[in-house]
Copies of this chain bind each other. A is one copy, B any other.
Amino acid sequence: MSRFLAPRLASLEAYVPGEQPREMQYVKLNTNESPYPPCPAVERAVSTAAVRRLNLYPDPAGSELRRALAARYGLAAENVLLGNGSDEILNFAFTAFASPEKGAACPDISYGFYPVFAALHGLPLLEVPLKEDFTLCPGDYYGLDRLIVFANPNAPTGLSIRPEQVEDILRHNPDSVVVVDEAYVDFGAESCAKLVKQYDNLVVCMTFSKSRSMAGARLGFALAQPALIADLETIRCSTNPYNINSLTLAAGAAAIGQDEYYMENCRRVAQTRAYTKEQLDRRGFVTLPSLANFLFTSCPGLDGGELYRALKARGVLVRWWDKPRLRPFVRVTIGTPEQMNVFLAALDGIREER
């Protein structure tokens, strides 16, 4: 820390993303990436001709991609905001819709970035405990009178609530914005995008990083009523109006045009998830019923940290958090069936050794 840092930021602890090792080959099941590549239409969109035009700025309005996303979700372009990944959009929402007087609320166990955004903006954060079984109870969110943010499906649990339950939260917080972070929704949960027309306090946040195989391209989007999108646009254009690069805009539009390819990949991930869970059940693991592209699982008698380290030593990266309630578990991304068999074989090797 330099002597120049604003004092209010002195205790700010940045978000720590999962390991992204560059040198050694791991079976990488730690950051919830898709195991499948982008479709050929995306390869064609990122053409040599497009690279030759990089001397020109991108379209700051992202009009073509916003139109494509609007059509995909049965909405209008004015309902769509584009972000440099959905993290950027979440940050915009914390900027626009929370005040230091009222603050924000999120589940006590959820995406680890929410508390970082709250700290960055000096917002008191109400962390609402999940139930003992890690489920989210809508009643715990009634009348909170502050910005509410949760992931659905939740991370790292993979558990989800139904749109009717989200509506219950929306109706009991008519004067607060509710952000539903649907980063993992395409792997089996039901989206709240269809509720956007009905609720003026709903922001649905999605990403191309998971189901659409574009984590490396950085693209997220929000769906909401035009007034909320306009506010988020004000923040976007007051921080970085050219926030999405030309190649990612082109890749995103091409990907939306090939939606069937990506939704088929999601079905494959869901099958592999069912297979992996069954294999873990057979081995005596306790695994939550996930609708995301990862499993949250614990091995009786083996601490999550020990399991994480033993797997890493065998070339398999998973994620583990040294935090109350999370310690017994590891979060395992669903890769290809072949990758999951390597993971399962590594588990067997670890158990044999003990």
A55 surroundings in chain B (CB, below 8 A): 33-38, 213-216
Q: Across the two chains, which residue of chain B brings its CB closest to A18?
A: B57
- Judged by a CB distance under 8 angstroms, whether A231 is at the interface is yes
Q: Given the complex of chains A and B, what is the CA–CA distance between A28 and B245 in angstroms?
A: 19
Q: Given the complex of chains A and B, what is the CA–CA distance between A58 and B218 in angstroms?
A: 9
B15 to A238, Cβ gap below 8 A?
yes
A93, chain B: closest CB distance, angstroms? 10
With beta carbons under 8 angstroms apart, the residue of B20, B119, B216, B239 that contacts A247 is B216
B240 to A85, Cβ gap below 8 A?
yes
A291, chain B: closest CB distance, angstroms? 20
Q: A5-B96, A116-B238, A234-B12 are in contact. Are A245 and B218 (CB under 8 A)?
A: yes
A87 surroundings in chain B (CB, below 8 A): 239-242
User: Which among A43-51, A156-164, A299-307, A339-347 touches the partner chain?
Assistant: A43-51
B99 to A8, Cβ gap below 8 A?
yes
A253, chain B: closest CB distance, angstroms? 13
A255, chain B: closest CB distance, angstroms? 10
Q: Given the complex of chains A and B, what is the CA–CA distance between A145 and B347 in angstroms?
A: 59
User: Digit string of A226-253 for contact with B (CB within 8 Å is 1, else 0)?
Assistant: 0110110111111111111111100100
A22 to B63, Cβ gap below 8 A?
yes
Q: Across the two chains, which residue of chain B brings its CB closest to A92?
A: B239
- Judged by a CB distance under 8 angstroms, whether A78 is at the interface is no
Q: Across the two chains, which residue of chain B brings its CB closest to A52?
A: B37
B241 to A15, Cβ gap below 8 A?
yes
Q: Given the complex of chains A and B, what is the CA–CA distance between A285 and B88 in angstroms?
A: 45
- Judged by a CB distance under 8 angstroms, whether A168 is at the interface is no
- Judged by a CB distance under 8 angstroms, whether A2 is at the interface is yes
A169, chain B: closest CB distance, angstroms? 15
A84, chain B: closest CB distance, angstroms? 6
With beta carbons under 8 angstroms apart, the residue of B51, B209, B214, B237 that contacts A14 is B237
- Judged by a CB distance under 8 angstroms, whether A24 is at the interface is no
Q: Across the two chains, which residue of chain B brings its CB closest to A28?
A: B56
- Judged by a CB distance under 8 angstroms, whether A53 is at the interface is yes
Q: Given the complex of chains A and B, what is the CA–CA distance between A234 and B209 in angstroms?
A: 23
Q: Across the two chains, which residue of chain B brings its CB closest to A247?
A: B247
- Judged by a CB distance under 8 angstroms, whether A9 is at the interface is yes
- Judged by a CB distance under 8 angstroms, whether A79 is at the interface is no
Q: A88-B240, A242-B85 are in contact. Are A231 and B38 (CB under 8 A)?
A: no
A-B contact pairs, 24 of them (CB 8 A): A2-B228, A4-B97, A4-B231, A5-B96, A5-B97, A6-B98, A8-B99, A14-B238, A17-B242, A31-B57, A38-B51, A38-B55, A46-B51, A46-B247, A51-B251, A54-B251, A55-B213, A84-B240, A85-B242, A87-B239, A87-B242, A88-B239, A216-B246, A218-B245
Given contacts A4-B228, A55-B215, 17 further A-B contacts (CB under 8 A): A2-B230, A2-B231, A6-B98, A14-B234, A14-B236, A20-B59, A34-B55, A38-B51, A38-B54, A51-B251, A55-B213, A57-B215, A84-B243, A84-B245, A85-B240, A85-B243, A91-B239
A residues neighboring B (CB under 8 Å): 1-9, 12-17, 20, 22, 28, 31, 33-38, 42-43, 46, 48, 51-60, 63, 84-85, 87-88, 91, 95-99, 116-117, 119-120, 175-177, 200-201, 209, 213-218, 225, 227-228, 230-231, 233-248, 251
Q: Which 4 A-B pairs have the closest CB atoms?
A: A14-B237, A216-B246, A2-B227, A54-B216
